[in-house]
Amino acid sequence: MTDCLFCKIVAKEIPAEIVHETGRTLAFRDINPQAPTHVLVVPKQHHPDAAALARADDGLADDVLKTAHAVAVQEGVAEGGYRVVFNTGPGAGQTVFHVHAHVLGGRPLTWPPG
């Protein structure tokens, strides 16, 4: 995807504060954090949303979740609790259409969210 912001971050064409990387995923700090820990985890392969990621059916969704947990451990929020959020579609607040998991932690997270 030539115009995809996250594809450009994956390709290192746009700078980001990368905190974790695997062969299939990249994790970087959100530029508008909603919690002390707010990291985005993206698959390096482009999929527009969580539904498309689920349809990929090649273990990539599992890799994204494993990376999200690794980030939570690395950031020191795994023991106290953290949230993983996928916004799917404009009605859910998705603004970049490259699937991404928000890893949030470091403060009490209320329920229900937004």
Confirm if 101 and 70 have CB atoms less than 8 A apart. Answer: no
First to last CA, the chain: 30
Amino acid identity for residue 93 in this structure:
G
Which tokens in the block code for residue 31? 């530029």
Active site residues per annotation: 100
